[in-house]
Amino acid sequence: MSLEPTMLIKNISLSPMTKETDFIQHGFIYIKSGRIAAVGEGAYPTPYEQADKIIDGAGMVAIPGLINAHTHTPMSLLRGYADDLPLMEWLENIWAVEDRMTHEDMYWASMLSMAEMIKSGTTTFADMYFGMERIASGVEQSGLRAILAQGIIEGKIAVDEQLASSVSLVENRHNSASGRIQTMLSPHAPYTCSPDTIKKIIKQAEQLEVGIHTHLAETRDEINIIKEKYNNSPIGLMEELGLFTRHVIAAHGVYLSDEDIEILRKSKVGIIHNPKSNMKLASGIAPIATLLKEGVTVGLATDGSASNNVLDMFEEMRFASLLQKVSTEDPTSLTAYETLDMATSNGAKAVGLEKEIGTIEVGKKADITLVNLQKTHVSPVNEVVSHLVYAVKAEDVACTIVDGQILYEKGELLTIDEEEVMWQIDKIQKKLLS
């Protein structure tokens, strides 16, 4: 007989993110074999009392697990390093350390990021970096869901060699860890990969039937470089090269013309907004309110810890909404619901996983975050979704669940040895940075 672990979350309020009006004040969630088997309002059916695990959600709200749709997890090692410098100077400092990082260093830095994400309610992340085979083992252990891609940058290592390593990541890891790990190919950006390289990667992605994760239209400099070299916009160039025939995770989209937005609207692209990174590197303000109005799919993300400096999606939501309001001079732009949607349901669509995650509804994977609302800074609970975006802090996360497995509960990480990770990071930091 196969074991079918079941879980009941009772006495819980719920923002399932299926529709704005679908909020449940007092209800339950029943999980079976990693998927949501029932969601309801009021009392739960008595047989659910027999569940293997029962969580009393009184005073908490359940939301779909947060999706950090663009990050570079090993960059946690560079948190707070070379801050407040001009972009090029900052990058040179970062690259100098990255050149000395081993895959083992990247693994531990990535584990540090995963610990931070689990504790702040993130259940899925899309990662772009190097040393991804080792990081995939970390994802397997952590219990998180991830979309992993090995970044390709033209430079010291031949493109074919980098591509071969990306392909082997896909072959070894795509759909692994009971489907928690997905993979993509990743040309770093239009200014670090030539059109020929990008075309090669698209062809490979077609053969492997995977998506593509890249940076697009991040800075004014990028726009100028692409204009000068190819007499096009980054989005226009990618359209011409056929990038949008695949599902694309495109980080940033800060500088977009009306024509660019029209291309994005018609394509299988998820624009990923990274407001704190864009602010810290003084890149600019992405027109997120306009993109949503035009029907472009938009997800939310932290980017790497070197340009943020935390992987806290609650903070990211707050910055996203406030930044749109101040930049449009319109307090109604990017509402709390639209913002939470970018971090959950819309985010799932942006990374191409909307059939499996992003909402709390029957049949979906049980990726759920429970947030404690019995705190002074969220009292009284006038409006839950508003609190989630404008008031809740990462420390208010009470429980993080992926695939029906609890990764974090009662202040404790259940899949990652936090003490060991901190010890390893301290050692690596001393070796690389001090």
Q: Supply angle C-alpha 167, 246, 125, rounded to 5.
A: 70
Q: Which is nearer to Zn ion, 116 or 303 (CB)?
A: 303
Binding-site size for Zn ion (CB under 5 A) equals: 1
Nearest 10 degrees: Cα torsion 408, 412, 417, 422: 110
- Gap between the Cα atoms of 363 and 360, Å rounded: 9
Helix or strand run (H / E) with residue 185: strand 181-187
Q: Which is nearer to Zn ion, 72 or 173 (CB)?
A: 72
Q: Edge-to-edge strand order for the sheet containing 297-300?
A: 66-71, 122-129, 145-152, 181-187, 211-216, 248-252, 269-273, 297-300
Q: Shortest Cβ distance from residue 349 to Zn ion (Å)?
A: 20
Q: Which is nearer to Zn ion, 143 or 253 (CB)?
A: 253
Restricting to residues 100-139, name those near Zn ion by CB under 5 A. Answer: none
Beta bridge partners of 406: 401
Q: Shortest Cβ distance from residue 75 to Zn ion (Å)?
A: 9
Q: Shortest Cβ distance from residue 307 to Zn ion (Å)?
A: 8
Q: Are strands 397-402 and 368-372 parallel, antiparallel or unpaired?
A: antiparallel
- Gap between the Cα atoms of 180 and 139, Å rounded: 8
Q: Shortest Cβ distance from residue 94 to Zn ion (Å)?
A: 11
Q: Which is nearer to Zn ion, 303 or 403 (CB)?
A: 303
- Gap between the Cα atoms of 338 and 62, Å rounded: 17
Is residue 218 involved in binding Zn ion (CB under 5 A)? no
Provide CB contacts within 8 A for 100, sequence distance 6+.
432
E strands present in 204-268: 211-216, 248-252
Instruction: Give the CB-nearest residue to Zn ion.
Output: 303
CA proximity to 15, closest of 400, 398, 426, 385: 385
Is residue 403 involved in binding Zn ion (CB under 5 A)? no
Q: Shortest Cβ distance from residue 215 to Zn ion (Å)?
A: 6
Is residue 303 involved in binding Zn ion (CB under 5 A)? yes
Interface region with Zn ion, contact rule CB under 5 A, candidates 118-126, 287-295, 297-305, 331-339: 297-305
Q: Which is nearer to Zn ion, 272 or 392 (CB)?
A: 272
Beta carbons of 206 and 247 less than 8 angstroms apart: no
Is residue 396 involved in binding Zn ion (CB under 5 A)? no
Q: Which is nearer to Zn ion, 174 or 188 (CB)?
A: 188
Q: Which is nearer to Zn ion, 197 or 214 (CB)?
A: 214
User: What SS3 state is found at 234?
Assistant: helix
Q: Which is nearer to Zn ion, 37 or 94 (CB)?
A: 94
Amino acid at 102: T
Q: Shortest Cβ distance from residue 189 to Zn ion (Å)?
A: 9
Q: Shortest Cβ distance from residue 186 to Zn ion (Å)?
A: 10
- Gap between the Cα atoms of 361 and 355, Å rounded: 11
Interface region with Zn ion, contact rule CB under 5 A, candidates 44-52, 206-214, 303-311, 323-331: 303-311
Q: Shortest Cβ distance from residue 72 to Zn ion (Å)?
A: 6
Q: Shortest Cβ distance from residue 29 to Zn ion (Å)?
A: 34
Q: Which is nearer to Zn ion, 307 or 344 (CB)?
A: 307
Beta carbons of 24 and 16 less than 8 angstroms apart: yes
Interface region with Zn ion, contact rule CB under 5 A, candidates 110-118, 166-174, 189-197, 302-310: 302-310
CA proximity to 353, closest of 172, 165, 146, 171: 146
Q: Which is nearer to Zn ion, 223 or 406 (CB)?
A: 223
Dihedral sign, CA of 198, 202, 208, 210? Answer: positive
Q: Which residues bind Zn ion (CB under 5 A)?
A: 303
